[in-house]
Structure 1
């Protein structure tokens, strides 16, 4: 069996990388920190034109009908530049969830039409975000066109203009968080009972996986920045990168990322192909990606020294994004416990 991406998948990732590296330098991320909604709307429009926002939208509804395998590659590139826009939420979480609503056997009255309306708007750039029941905050709810919320066993379409938003601060200033208060209504019902619970579980797994993919990209950028810095910074007349201790730090960081990446890709394959153990693979991926990027961040700070702690230096943009995402949708400890439970092990032993 060949465990590798197809050429077309890699070409898509390269195209996304080229676009984002050109359009999202660190200065644009700083711009998002200072804006009201944390969005780069021109970049969002270009991602829509490229088709990234419709990768998991079925072809019958204006998308490409692809899977998590393609989207994790694109999300890794989003993480590489610390893109603040909610590609994960719209393209990987909400789009497949709306497709599941359309495909359910006994949908509530009006649910298919409602889901179809929003699903077909996503490839063109409409912004959709999920409100998970266990999440205290929702990212980018203040700029979303629609919120898909779950409460009391029901999945609903929520109009952002009808909710109460309470802004919350994030360690990453480009991630605009809000507490969301909303009311259910029969006309906004998409699914209920077991169907709704299955959809929200699937969506949460995709969110955790997509976050892990973004963490890989963030780790790559911080490592590249650090290698570049220690190659130029000199002590005793030589680059500090020539010191054995520094080489060991960075080699260990590379090793952590190299082990985490295949786990993320395996989890994407599992979700795309309906593997019954996909939830376990997702947790293994999120745990390893979270631990890897935290380790890379520590080494990056250690090797940069005092300059790495300053807000004027770009490292902090990627470091703080990694802190925010490492704990989002379950931190490494939570996911390791989930793996242990799936294997029938006692996580305390």
Structure 2
């Protein structure tokens, strides 16, 4: 099966690039991004390319959590807050392990998806993360929203897949920055991008991202079809996290000394990738995949 974007999906992806680069929440709402999986009848495969662009721009707002996770869950529950979130007037963040919530400081509500139960967050406190633009909080779970296992599992799958899509976008951005840099940086009278060692590193990073992208689309299709999407989502997260890590490593090394300067723009994307990968838990997902295919006994 070939996983590629349709013309409509490509058009939507291209339409959101400028608003995402500008951090325009209201413009995204006007484009229907938050209503996509509710009022507009779009699905996971339609939104994944948009989420990749969210990662590419390293948007410091809960776009993915609101549009891809919260709105479809609230809509499925006929919750009145779905309409407000779909218009962009309600921002919703999704808590990760231990209640650590990226963009919680920018959100009106926090959604918890733990133990097969969806809850709305209660009290929260500011949290320190490697990526300060995450504006993270530690949120405590409060009132039960639903304990429907199918709805909660689907929402959790979308949350993980959202991280994977953003990681692919972040990897692309770091690679683009690096390709531009090595074409301009000269050493020994030649651009460093002409050196074989640099070419190989960047080519390997590119291949990793190109392998991850269709895996993310395949997982989106599995979620859309209501199939047992767990292994597909786990695989997408693992591949995307590995690809983003490889891209950050190659980018920092190929930039030379400036790549280790925290004030340099590259670190904005590298730190976001590291933070999202940690939240997505690729190690646990890799262990789950190993158990699924019989490479590891449960509990060993």
Q: TM-score range by the shorter chain?
A: over 0.9
Matched, 1:79 2:43: no
C-alpha distance in 2 between matches for 1:220 and 1:54: 27
Q: What 5-or-longer segments of structure 2 have no aligned partner?
A: none
C-alpha distance in 2 between matches for 1:152 and 1:82: 29
Which residue number corresponds to residue 329 of structure 1? 280
Q: What 5-or-longer segments of structure 1 have no aligned partner?
A: 24-39, 58-62, 103-114
1:70 corresponds to which of 46, 55, 66: 46
Residues 126 and 137, structure 2, Cα contact 8 Å, conserved in 1: yes
Which sits farther off after the overlay, 164-173 or 140-149? Answer: 140-149
Which residue number corresponds to residue 51 of structure 1? 32
1:339 corresponds to which of 272, 289, 293: 289
* Pair 1:152–1:11, CA change in 2 (3 A): closer
Matched, 1:147 2:102: no
C-alpha distance in 2 between matches for 1:84 and 1:314: 15
**Superposition deviation, residue 313 in structure 1:** 1.5
C-alpha distance in 2 between matches for 1:305 and 1:151: 42
Residues 209 and 240, structure 2, Cα contact 8 Å, conserved in 1: yes
Q: Deviations over 1:124-173 (max 9, x none)?
A: 111112346x4331223333222334578654445xxxx32211101111
Report the count of equivalent residues. 298
Matched, 1:128 2:78: no
The Cα RMSD (Å) is 2.1
**Superposition deviation, residue 329 in structure 1:** 2.4
Matched, 1:310 2:286: no
* Pair 1:235–1:51, CA change in 2 (3 A): same
1:246 corresponds to which of 185, 198, 212: 198
Matched, 1:274 2:229: no
Which residue number corresponds to residue 112 of structure 1? none
Matched, 1:178 2:142: no
C-alpha distance in 2 between matches for 1:100 and 1:152: 19
Q: Deviations over 1:317-338 (max 9, x none)?
A: 011011101111212x211112
Residues 249 and 299, structure 1, Cα contact 8 Å, conserved in 2: yes
